[in-house]
Amino acid sequence: MNNKYQKHIPVFYEGQDDLIGVLATSIASVCDNTDAFIDFYILDCGISKINKKLLNNLKNKFDNLSIEYIYIDLSQFKNLTPWRGKFWDCYARLLIPDLKPNLNKAIYLDSDVILLDDIEKLWNENLDQYIFAAVPDIGYVSFVKYNAIHNLGISKNHIYPNAGVLLIDCKKWRKNNITKILFDIAYQYRKHIYIICEDILSIAFNNNNYKVLDNRYNLADRVNEIVDLYDGKISNDYINQEWLNGVIQHLSPGKPWKMLKNDYNGNTLKYFNLFWYYAKMTEFYIGMKCSFDDYLIKNIDIKKSIKKYKLFGIIPFLVCKTNGRKSIIKLFNLITILKIKRKNNDI
């Protein structure tokens, strides 16, 4: 324990090699924005020794953190529904209060979040006797809602939480045997569970039996799918105001380590540069940057274009049509005289 800091905040992540650079970036953003000492607990769902070594090097950058790895045997979840048909690590967060019985309170963060402000603001939120707190999921799309209501028995008035950021009263969780309740639900509804932790928590804490946090604690750069729900309390104006007071950003669905712009509106991802600012503080920056550049090259969108070269400024003499990586030049737009196919490394 570092004696320089009077306040320690326990923060849990789930970790695997596939997103280790993103996880490191998230940790860097927490440390850079927070005055307190952060005790990081990484639920080790498959992290190699070398990646742990590189992750631990964040201690050379910041003096307000410790890192402890807690091995999670994913085989214990094999009889449950995996996320996207192959990932079971999401269940690990449901074990948190039992993994550290000395903790009365804890924060859980998805790997793909960055801090915009001091995490102590979330830590200081009053749970008001609730067992956990979370932010409404503005990505509660119609088919997820239909499944929740018709197959999982969740109230249509229930405010569906996003489980990417959780504030947990670990003491109450253990006292009420919540872990067993959640895993019993996960098994009972395994044929209809879709958004894993969100569905399970919504069944167990139906009718808003949890502390609903302001969206500033889990902001997502996406379409507000719940603008017409909950009596209009989560309007677009409200979300825009929350961005001005943002504390935590969830990098979903747009992933700044893969893309520059959103699919839904074509705008540059919110705080794209901030993500890379924190990524540069980690040992994984060069690899992430190379992967990003390679991804852009392979997925570059070369728009269709037509150029006409006119004879006497009137008659189309040569017409050049470009579509994707192919260019075709036609004489009088009738006779093909040249075809050009661009290589993958041509930009």
Q: Which residues does 58 contact at the CB level (< 8 Å), separation at least 6? A: 24, 27, 28, 31, 65, 67, 281, 282
Give dist(CA 44, CA 244) in Å, integer: 34
Q: What does residue 126 show for φ and ψ, rounded to 5 degrees?
A: -80, 125
Contact 269, 256 (CB under 8 A): yes
Contact 30, 39 (CB under 8 A): no
- Spell out a b/e string for 131-152, using b for 16 or more CB atoms within 10 Å of the CB, else e: bbbbbbbbbbeeebbebbeeeb
Give dist(CA 221, CA 270) in Å, integer: 7
Outline where 85-235 has alpha helix (H).
Answer: 96-99, 120-123, 142-150, 170-175, 178-188, 196-204
pTM reported for the whole predicted model: 0.85
Helix then strand then coil, in percent of the chain rounded to 5, is 35, 25, 40
pLDDT of residue 316: 64
Q: Tens digit of pLDDT for each residue in 202-259?
A: 999 999 999 999 999 999 999 999 999 999 999 999 999 999 999 999 999 999 999 9
Domain ranges (residues) in the chain:
8-298, 305-341
The CATH code belonging to domain 8-298 is: 3.90.550.10
Upstream peptide bond of 253 is cis (omega within 30 degrees of 0): yes
Residue 305 token pair:
């274009």
Q: Which residue type is seen at 136?
A: P
Residue 103 token pair:
């903790």
pLDDT of residue 123: 98
Contact 331, 337 (CB under 8 A): yes
Going residue by residue through the chain (347 aa), what tens digit of pLDDT does each one get? 456 778 999 999 999 999 999 999 999 999 999 999 999 999 999 999 999 999 999 999 999 999 999 999 999 999 998 887 778 899 999 999 999 999 999 999 999 999 999 999 999 999 999 999 999 999 999 999 999 999 999 999 999 999 999 999 999 999 999 999 999 999 999 999 999 999 999 999 999 999 999 999 999 999 999 999 999 999 999 999 999 999 999 999 999 999 999 888 889 999 999 999 999 999 999 999 999 988 877 765 444 556 655 655 555 656 666 665 566 666 666 667 666 665 544 43
pLDDT of residue 337: 61
pLDDT of residue 152: 97
